Amino acid sequence: MSTIQLHTEEQIWDFLKEVTDPEIPVLNIVEMGIARKVEVNEEGHVLVKITPTYSGCPAMNAIEKLVNEKLEERAVQNFKVKLDFAETWTTDWMTEEAKVKLKDYGIAPPEKTSEDDDFLKTLSSTKVVPCPFCDSFETELVSQFGSTACKSQYFCNDCEQPFEHFKCI
């Protein structure tokens, strides 16, 4: 007769920190704010809720699969991973450490959103985004969409480097 190993919420959160975003491998899903909730009941059943960065994000299937694989690898025997659409993901859920990692990776991190942010307003006006390579503000928007829909493409006129900016959502 085998016994079921019970895991704590803290252990599950630690396991989730080992799951990186397939599109930005320097970030894990906890620091991105994708992993939103962990519940462990008295029988040891684990529920992990993950929120997509946007409803059509193609990486979410991969992330869900990676979470399942990680929990299996860590011998979590009774778990469910649930895509949770109850809240809309925002870049404000990203940790400050994640934003530093983005910049070090060459992607301009998002700024803090404000209550008056509006996606259509953002499309019609060009915000000044500092270059992640040289910190220059002499940058220009090249395209609203970069390698993924959640990033836009910029060019730095000082160091002449193209770079992506993680959009504020």
Domain annotation for the chain: domains and CATH numbers:
9-89 (3.30.300.130), 106-166 (no CATH)
Pair of tokens at residue 97: 């450490």
| pLDDT > 70 fraction of the chain, expressed in percent and rounded | 89
Q: What is the mean pLDDT of residues 107-117?
A: 75
The more confident residue out of 150 and 123 is: 150
- Per-residue pLDDT tens digits for 139-165: 999 999 888 888 999 999 999 999 999
Query: Which of 44, 117, 104, 26 is closest to 80 using CA atoms?
Result: 44
Whole-prediction pTM: 0.85
Give every CB contact of residue 14 below 8 A, 6+ residues apart in sequence. Answer: none
The pLDDT score that the predictor gives to residue 28 is 98
Question: Which pLDDT belongs to residue 55?
Answer: 76
Asked whether 19 and 67 are in contact (CB, 8 A), the reply is yes
Sheet holding 46-50, edge to edge: 35-40, 46-50, 79-83
1: confidence class by pLDDT, cuts 50, 70, 90: very low
Residue 115 or residue 92, greater confidence: 92
Q: What is the pLDDT of residue 114?
A: 58
Amino acid 60: pLDDT: 92
Model confidence band, residue 119 (pLDDT cutoffs 50, 70, 90): very low
Q: How confident is the model at residue 121 (pLDDT cuts 50, 70, 90)?
A: very low
The pLDDT of residue 54 is 83
Handedness of CA 17, 94, 163, 54 (dihedral sign): positive
